Structure 1
């Protein structure tokens, strides 16, 4: 392969990864306006509706322990290709489900795509490109992928006027197949097969080193807490707005646009206007925006308890603030150490997805059993404020690490 062809191939790899992740997100976002229809089709309890998201995230956790260390040893490419094919087959399998249990199992398997994308795909991008370029590229990838939560609910609500909800999974399955083909022909391998054998003891040794690293631990906890306000809203909002708020599926879809548009706008700000997204000064400027969003969320719902606008508005402001620093937080956590990157990424995603899945179930319980709107939103406030506290620790440890390297 010529140098020009090789450069083109490397450039096409992020596009194939974007399509894979876009399809993975779309498999959740397109079905959200119709999740109540899914429950009714299978004559299931409406309380199972948020489980479509929480089980998807649980699926994104279950293989993390394996894929990170495995990709460190056998290479990133074969692992990511396997993941894209599993996702594709799981989407097509949903077409043949006949019960809520089968549907949720398919969602769980589809969720494993998160393992492959975050643990293998993201690490490959960061390894191929430098620090600033890697952060900017991840911001671009995130922005493009987050179009899915914007157009997904609208597209899903529109398509379900013409086709059965199962057809939506046929669409995402086809997208997964195209993405797999793109990865097959364009993905370079940044690791390659190594002589180190894959063994349980070796994997455990790597994980022990990761979880003893202060930067990794604080980064993992910070990212997890920062995700909770957004993920709890995405998972439970269909029940809040459609089942209890009386919105139509189309009206519900429009309520999701500000939240994900805010993250996209934040990422574009980072790419276009921020010279050093790793600067502590820039990161701290984003924190007041996050706190403003959380304040709007809780105060608005206390003063005007029957207006859903405060929920979507507060979450959107918070999403903009956290979107400014998410790519940098991931970069700090992955690369401010000398540990195997696949294992670090796996550890990160295991904890993040575990906490997010648990928080969705807690948010669902708070809404149904513990008083509704205010307890539900208090979860986001507590998580967001605690996340800021851990952020300060992460920045302190990262600064010490950087100073140590400069001293060497």
Structure 2
């Protein structure tokens, strides 16, 4: 009976499970978006205080992976993941029952810290079980599943808000965490290699220093972060540009946002396909960054010439989100492949840098929009793509050898 409950690494269900772990943060953020006004009214708080439920969740999510990464390397993927999911579920329960805004904000911070375990451990598990193109295809599958969640989560949030109000939304999120914890407890086999006492005794400082000074790893982490940066600049800027400048109807905007979200899924799908045909990660990243640079320049030109409209900018925005989906699996592989014994540390750092880049780029768009209007979004997107290109050049053509794998893989 126990054997039948195990998640087999080669199965589709295993890919869905890992994708679901990675999708917990966007579900927790996007599903609650429609409820912010109701939360403020119910708890007699301001709109800005209600908005902090998102900010504190993201702060916890950005910090958590830094701890979970080395913890999973030293003590195993499964117990670390169960710890994170326990925090995530408990945070969701307290959020649903919160009597005031202070308790709600604290619970969301805890929930965000718990959510950081999902993505971090999912990446480490993939590195433990797969190598080469098989690993990249699995990373692409995780990207697909994880990015379907933000597309459907707001609509699900609206439906839940009507049916069970805002507390019910947090309750549903807590149930998602509980289901993930049960699936982990019953179905996930420990994948981390056994560790010596010397390794466990090694401090965070030495482990992170090894990762931070490994050129291909830190370069890949930065490229992934800048890719998330151009994507999040679009997420933050699109409602300002499309709703307030181009005056597109909300229903049309929702459909357009879903279309660009599907662009990420399409890009990740293409990544898996071309990787299986032997196309190198460095070539894939060059195409993704180059197309994004061209698309963001096109957005800037359209804004400067006052030619921006839904029909003219939509293809360019879809191209940018497609390119993030195309780049993310290759950049993630580049971060995990060379250091299998520190996959948790590398995955945790990648997750934290990704979140920090997204927060920075979206904040820049918000600050610059009052001064330069629609150019804020296209300029920040272009800057992120340019930084990604500079890191790509800095990495150079030199091959890297995956430690412990016995085989070289060109970046």
TM superposition score normalised by structure 2: 0.84
Question: Does the CA contact (< 8 Å) of 2:94 and 2:104 recur in 1?
Answer: no
Question: Does the CA contact (< 8 Å) of 2:16 and 2:145 recur in 1?
Answer: no
Question: Does the CA contact (< 8 Å) of 1:229 and 1:315 recur in 2?
Answer: no
User: Alignment partner of 1:336: what SS?
Assistant: coil
Aligned position for 2:359: 357
Distance in 2 between residues matched to 1:4 and 1:276, nearest whole Å: 34
Aligned position for 1:293: 295
Evaluate the alpha carbon distance shift between residue 41 and residue 196 of structure 1 in structure 2; reply closer, same or farther with a 3 A threshold.
Answer: same
Evaluate the alpha carbon distance shift between residue 22 and residue 250 of structure 1 in structure 2; reply closer, same or farther with a 3 A threshold.
Answer: farther
Cα deviation, residue 210, structure 1: 1.6
Evaluate the alpha carbon distance shift between residue 156 and residue 240 of structure 1 in structure 2; reply closer, same or farther with a 3 A threshold.
Answer: farther
Map 1:163-312; keep pairs closer than 5 Å: 163-191=164-192, 194-196=195-197, 202-235=203-236, 237=238, 250-274=251-275, 275-304=277-306, 307=309
- Gaps of at least 5 residues in structure 1 are none
Aligned position for 1:142: 143
Aligned position for 2:23: 22
Evaluate the alpha carbon distance shift between residue 123 and residue 366 of structure 1 in structure 2; reply closer, same or farther with a 3 A threshold.
Answer: same
Evaluate the alpha carbon distance shift between residue 381 and residue 200 of structure 1 in structure 2; reply closer, same or farther with a 3 A threshold.
Answer: farther
Evaluate the alpha carbon distance shift between residue 189 and residue 254 of structure 1 in structure 2; reply closer, same or farther with a 3 A threshold.
Answer: same
Pairing 1:341–2:343 present: yes
Deviations 1:79-135 (A, max 9, x none): 011112221222222212355554443333332244212221211122112221111
Cα deviation, residue 371, structure 1: 4.1
Evaluate the alpha carbon distance shift between residue 293 and residue 32 of structure 1 in structure 2; reply closer, same or farther with a 3 A threshold.
Answer: farther
User: Alignment partner of 1:328: what SS?
Assistant: helix
User: Alignment partner of 2:189: what SS?
Assistant: coil
Pairing 1:330–2:332 present: yes
Distance in 2 between residues matched to 1:283 and 1:310, nearest whole Å: 25
Distance in 2 between residues matched to 1:46 and 1:24, nearest whole Å: 22
Evaluate the alpha carbon distance shift between residue 245 and residue 104 of structure 1 in structure 2; reply closer, same or farther with a 3 A threshold.
Answer: farther
Evaluate the alpha carbon distance shift between residue 152 and residue 377 of structure 1 in structure 2; reply closer, same or farther with a 3 A threshold.
Answer: same
Question: Does the CA contact (< 8 Å) of 1:85 and 1:177 recur in 2?
Answer: yes
Aligned position for 2:393: 392
Cα deviation, residue 349, structure 1: 2.6
Question: Does the CA contact (< 8 Å) of 2:21 and 2:122 recur in 1?
Answer: no
Distance in 2 between residues matched to 1:60 and 1:13, nearest whole Å: 23
Question: Does the CA contact (< 8 Å) of 2:235 and 2:362 recur in 1?
Answer: no
Evaluate the alpha carbon distance shift between residue 401 and residue 361 of structure 1 in structure 2; reply closer, same or farther with a 3 A threshold.
Answer: same
Distance in 2 between residues matched to 1:192 and 1:378, nearest whole Å: 44
- Gaps of at least 5 residues in structure 2 are none
User: Alignment partner of 2:97: what SS?
Assistant: coil
Question: Does the CA contact (< 8 Å) of 1:32 and 1:238 recur in 2?
Answer: no
49-58 vs 374-383, greater mean Cα deviation: 49-58
Cα deviation, residue 235, structure 1: 4.3
Aligned position for 1:83: 84
251-260 vs 307-316, greater mean Cα deviation: 307-316
Distance in 2 between residues matched to 1:277 and 1:47, nearest whole Å: 47
Question: Does the CA contact (< 8 Å) of 2:288 and 2:324 recur in 1?
Answer: yes
What is the root-mean-square deviation of aligned Cα atoms in Å? 3.4
Evaluate the alpha carbon distance shift between residue 376 and residue 360 of structure 1 in structure 2; reply closer, same or farther with a 3 A threshold.
Answer: same
Evaluate the alpha carbon distance shift between residue 358 and residue 272 of structure 1 in structure 2; reply closer, same or farther with a 3 A threshold.
Answer: closer
Distance in 2 between residues matched to 1:349 and 1:97, nearest whole Å: 29
Question: Does the CA contact (< 8 Å) of 1:154 and 1:254 recur in 2?
Answer: no
Question: Does the CA contact (< 8 Å) of 2:223 and 2:391 recur in 1?
Answer: yes
5-14 vs 68-77, greater mean Cα deviation: 5-14
Distance in 2 between residues matched to 1:36 and 1:308, nearest whole Å: 28
378-387 vs 94-103, greater mean Cα deviation: 94-103
Distance in 2 between residues matched to 1:51 and 1:305, nearest whole Å: 36
Distance in 2 between residues matched to 1:98 and 1:242, nearest whole Å: 35
Aligned position for 1:381: 382
Distance in 2 between residues matched to 1:170 and 1:139, nearest whole Å: 30
3-12 vs 251-260, greater mean Cα deviation: 3-12
Evaluate the alpha carbon distance shift between residue 349 and residue 191 of structure 1 in structure 2; reply closer, same or farther with a 3 A threshold.
Answer: same
Distance in 1 between residues matched to 2:254 and 2:99, nearest whole Å: 26
